[in-house]
Structure 1
Amino acid sequence: MNPTVDAKQLELFELFKPNSLKNARSPFTFADLFAGIGGFRIPLEELGGQCLGYSEIDKKAIQTYRKNFIKDDYSDEAYLGDITNLNKLPFDIDVLVGGVPCQPWSIAGKLQGLDDPRGQLWRDVFRVVKANRPKAFIFENVKGLTEPRNIESLKYIINNLTASGYVVKYEVLNSYDFGLPQDRDRLFLVGIRNDIEKSWGFTFPKPLVSEARPYGGYANEEDRQIKLYDVIPGIERSNFRKKKFPPSVLFDGKIPASRGRFQKIDELNDFFLFTDIRDGHTAIHSWDLIETTSREKLICQTIMKNRRKNIYGEKDGNPLEFKVLKTLVPELQPAELDRLVAKDILRTVGSKGYEFVNSKISSGINGISKIFLPHADAIATLTATGTRDFVATISIECQEPAAYKQTFIREIYHKQKFQPLTARDYAKLQGFPEWFKIYENENTAKHQLGNAVSIPVVYHLAKALLDIIL
């Protein structure tokens, strides 16, 4: 046991003991499709379910799955192989679950939808559901499947599952709402066989607020929602009360529409974004991190504010020619731009002009995209491809907007008071229990955990479903 993990953290995350079935219901059976490393299996077993078979083709994921769930080579649990070869299963089941590959609808993928071979796996799902007629199913996918560009694909999926004799409902659930400090939206499709008496009565679980909750958070508002420091070892706990500000103090006249759920309009952000193409009270630019003159900062700020204007080009972020920049920056000289090129802040793009070297938010600056403070409510979505997100090991209790960024750079960035997320951190942020054995290779383990479902979300969703079908 890691000595830096405190009693509260253990209370929140050491819940899936192999013999811990206090809330177990009448036994039910399930099959685990696209099983990955067992994100569905853990909460279903905690609720009293028995897995009769699993389907997965990734060899390394299968190794992790077997290490945790298949205790010996003589297990009578069926390995079902590739779903493309499945039809009628060799047993009857109550529930069918699976995280259908999400890349066809993910921004991180190529957005090919049902034209992607992985998107066509839904047709295999339809076949298996129709052939086996389980009482219910739960399938997980990315939120992108609900967006306008993919809505016809979602309708196609729902119509096919409905035609197989099911009442189908869907909803996007966020892991944060179920006790994890991770901002992770995922689509869950739930189907209940329409000959079951209460098939229309299913409702998705509501976000956990102040109730006693077994998979995260605290029992009362005084203790607040779970924070990063409750989960990640080695970072400072802090309990200071954040100051409130009128929005006009934090924003220059207009609140950006792109602000997310965890960027409050009356509080300082709990993370710092490393990018040269956005601005804000916690945007860190390359010219903030190295020695630059006020004149050089002015030039960079001018480029940043004008690079997306339509008058300079059709793309979202255009190289700006010298003749354009000369109209924007008084008495600009080519040598000034050359010095910024020498400092690796700007680069030339053929004859098109100048752009920032750090021009992608996902790439960040110096290998860092974001650094979250320990008291942050949630880290960004973990992904299979990995992130460039870090966690500061200390908090800064600075409550002055004008000094916030420089305090962070001085006390955290330059003193290197931050650390990368480990694979075990990934496991905790996904709600996996302490006993779960992750893959030996760190990068492979991160890939597997980033692909997994969040355990508490499935637990509460399945609990609501079992109320209907059992």
Structure 2
Amino acid sequence: MTNFRLGELFCGPGGIALGALKAKIESDGELFNISHAWANDYDKDTCETYAKNICPEDSKSVICKDVRKLDISKLSDIDALAFGFPCNDFSLVGEQKGIDGVYGPLYSYGVKTLQRFKPKWFLAENVGGIRSANEGNAFQTILEELTAVGYKVTPHLYKFEEYGVPQARHRVIIIGIRNDLPFDFKVPVLKNSQIVTSREAIENPPISVDAYNHELTKQSSIVVERLKHIKAGENAFNANLPEHLKLNVRGAQISQIYKRLDPNKPAYTVTGSGGGGTHIYHWEEPRALTNRERARLQTFPDDFFFCGSKESVRKQIGMAVPAKGVQVIFEAVLKTFAGISYDSVKPNIQFVQKDLFSPPIVNKELEFV
């Protein structure tokens, strides 16, 4: 058996970990799989959710601490690293400060962890907007630093609805394989993959009334009245609303405000926010989705229990990586190491590797305590 011990930074509630644990490949009687080693996040509820669902027998392996105060010298050795570094400063919604923001530089801790443990491969994840932050320079710098510490990187903008996820969620994922290893990662593609609609995800099979995290949101009367005038697939700005139900919004009109799902299409992107009409709304019933319904759009199974208040759970679900989508990518990594060919496409993000013997480019101001 070839097992890769996985460490995670910015682990979230466990979407990446769940996809990793489910990924298993057999080749010539040998099993290739991924196991949990340790994980880190700063949010208490998130860490409790991760520990409860991913490693209930070893909850101490989940370190709840600001990554800037994490002592990596005390962590066990790993064969692989995953880090979905914070996207706040790279999102197209917002100021997009990139590396110059509060959260932007945190990717550097992933680089430092790679330097420390030199795992065989890594997976890094962020929003699509990372490509244009700081006029494109931020993403280029990140790729150069990952390359400089000894990895062949393959960045690609994955459209998760093409990987069996019932949601139009587009994320940049970078796979890196250590330079001294004779493997080249290829971007997997699922040929003849069936698009999963939001109706299929939420209704098939029906969600039990006593399912975890399935509490209804109390809607105000004006929200209920507004939703009754918004058809499936419409939002508060393109629906034919009576004057008293229209939103008094100046400037940019975000399409997800009071937007109802189209039951015949994948859902729009699930986010961690929930105020101001951003909960995600049912296509037929005049209400927001429950957290369990949102979790289904993120491909979490119904027995995956999220810890914390309803608002905390909503945020955890929205910030997670869809387990089913990332499982396909992990399986491609395992096939790469197993020498198994698979259907693939060329990366849609171009990056030219620099001299592999260049010294590491690392932000020296960001040191582990």
For 1:165, the aligned partner's letter is G
For 1:371, the aligned partner's letter is R
Q: CA deviation at 1:149?
A: 4.4
Distance 1:27 1:344 in 2: 57
**Is it true that 1:79 corresponds to 2:63 in the alignment?**
yes
Mapping of 1:97-112 within 5 angstroms?
Answer: 97-112=82-97
Distance 2:100 2:79 in 1: 31
Instruction: Specify the alignment match of 1:127 in structure 2.
Output: 112
Instruction: Specify the alignment match of 1:196 in structure 2.
Output: 181
Mapping of 1:246-325 within 5 angstroms?
Answer: 271-275=233-237, 283-286=238-241, 289=242
For 2:121, the aligned partner's letter is A
In structure 2, do the counterparts of structure 1 residues 446 and 78 end up closer, same or farther at CA, with 3 Å as the change threshold?
Answer: closer
Q: Is the 8 A contact 2:96 2:133 kept in 1?
A: no
**Is it true that 1:457 corresponds to 2:348 in the alignment?**
no
Distance 2:128 2:151 in 1: 22
**Is it true that 1:168 corresponds to 2:153 in the alignment?**
yes
Report the TM-score when normalising by structure 1. 0.59
Structure 2 residues without counterparts, runs of 5 or longer: 24-32, 207-230, 339-369
For 2:236, the aligned partner's letter is F
Q: Is the 8 A contact 2:279 2:289 kept in 1?
A: no
Q: Which of 167, 185, 192 is matched with 1:210 structurally?
A: 192
**Is it true that 1:155 corresponds to 2:44 in the alignment?**
no
- The structure, 1 or 2, with the larger RCO (C-alpha pairs under 8 Å, 6+ apart) is 2
Distance 1:145 1:101 in 2: 11
Mapping of 1:337-356 within 5 angstroms?
Answer: none
Distance 1:234 1:43 in 2: 21
SS at match of 2:333: helix
Q: Is the 8 A contact 2:261 2:268 kept in 1?
A: no
Distance 1:124 1:82 in 2: 11
Q: How high is the sequence identity, in percent, across the aligned residues?
A: 26
Q: Is the 8 A contact 2:98 2:133 kept in 1?
A: no
Q: CA deviation at 1:369?
A: 2.3
**Is it true that 1:426 corresponds to 2:301 in the alignment?**
no
Q: Is the 8 A contact 2:42 2:65 kept in 1?
A: yes
Q: Is the 8 A contact 2:49 2:306 kept in 1?
A: yes
In structure 2, do the counterparts of structure 1 residues 357 and 87 end up closer, same or farther at CA, with 3 Å as the change threshold?
Answer: same
Residue by residue over 1:256-289, the C-alpha shift from the partner in whole angstroms, topping out at 9 and shown as x without a partner, is xxxxxxxxxxxxx9611221xxxxxxx2143xx3
In structure 2, do the counterparts of structure 1 residues 109 and 61 end up closer, same or farther at CA, with 3 Å as the change threshold?
Answer: farther
**Is it true that 1:361 corresponds to 2:253 in the alignment?**
yes
Q: Is the 8 A contact 2:82 2:122 kept in 1?
A: yes
In structure 2, do the counterparts of structure 1 residues 78 and 446 end up closer, same or farther at CA, with 3 Å as the change threshold?
Answer: closer
Distance 1:167 1:363 in 2: 38
Report the TM-score when normalising by structure 2. 0.74
For 1:361, the aligned partner's letter is Q
Structure 1 residues without counterparts, runs of 5 or longer: 1-24, 212-216, 218-224, 237-268, 276-282, 291-342, 346-355, 394-416
Q: Which of 31, 39, 42 is matched with 2:18 structurally?
A: 42
Residue by residue over 1:124-154, the C-alpha shift from the partner in whole angstroms, topping out at 9 and shown as x without a partner, is 2211111110000001000001127441111
